[in-house]
Amino acid sequence: MINRNSEVPCYSQLSQILLEQIRRGVLLPGERLPAENAISKKYKLNRHTVRRAIERLAEEGMVYKIKGKGTFLAKTKIPYKVSKKTQFTTSILQAGLQPDAILLDTYEVIAGDEFAKKLNIQPDDKVSVLEILRYADEIPFSHTTSFLSAKKYPGIHTLLNHTFSFYKLLKEHYGVEATRRTSTFEVSLPDDKDMEILQVSLKTPLLVVKSLSESQDGDIVEYCLSKFRGDLCSITVDFHDLRG
């Protein structure tokens, strides 16, 4: 139980108690934690102390939150394969989970020097921007922002309302077989928008993947910025598939 005379803060003691229950199998992967008020009553602690203890476990990747549903024990990290033709749905299904996605936003911007260089277009050309939030078993998994030439792929934002198989859409509607050309991997901490969309805390690391895809003719098709939850995701690069 909680020792209120200890120099160790109560929230830290509680996080250790919960951590020990996880290690002993009292709490199982994927299982929902008791509600904060139930933990509060059991250990005679205020809700703020309980919340701090749970936040510490979340920072360590031991638990994750689903908005409106509660806090759950972390499962084994979800494997995600990066290859020339990475397909989110296929990768998540292979992991034994249920994929889903929602289109968060679509809009156009002027390319400017940054996107003109990335997409091999003119600085005053328009760029279609597509923001997609992807789920694995109803858990926010990744936030992807795609940038494409609006001139080369007119109306793509309306087509994406009906399908989230992005490469399939490019092939069927534009005759383009897109494959990944390059990917850059980074680690960062979330900003306010990331925390809201991916439902993570400030200290949850994100795996950031910046990729360029090209057509069968070698033309740049898409610049893509994907942010994966580092507490849930394990990324594997398939070198066999990436060989030229």
pLDDT in tens, the chain (244 residues): 888 888 899 999 999 999 888 888 888 877 888 899 999 999 999 999 999 999 888 877 788 777 778 888 877 778 888 777 777 877 888 878 888 889 999 999 999 999 999 999 999 999 999 999 999 888 899 999 999 999 999 988 788 765 567 888 899 999 999 999 999 999 999 999 999 999 888 878 899 999 999 999 999 999 999 999 988 888 888 766 655 5
Q: Please, what CATH class does the domain formed by 78-242 belong to?
A: alpha beta
Residues in a beta bridge with 106: 130
Extents of the domains making up the chain:
10-73, 78-242
| CATH number of the structural domain 10-73 | 1.10.10.10
- Whether the Cβ atoms of residue 143 and residue 157 lie closer than 8 Å to each other: no
pLDDT for res 216: 93
Q: How does DSSP assign 107-161, residue by residue? A: EEEE-HHHHHHHHTS-TTSEEEEEEEEEEETTEEEEEEEEEEETTTSTTHHHHTT
Domains 10-73 and 78-242 share a fold: no
What crossing angle do the helices spanning 47-59 and 36-43 adopt, rounded to 10°?
110
What is the rounded CA–CA span in Å between residue 116 and residue 101? 28
Residues in a beta bridge with 138: none
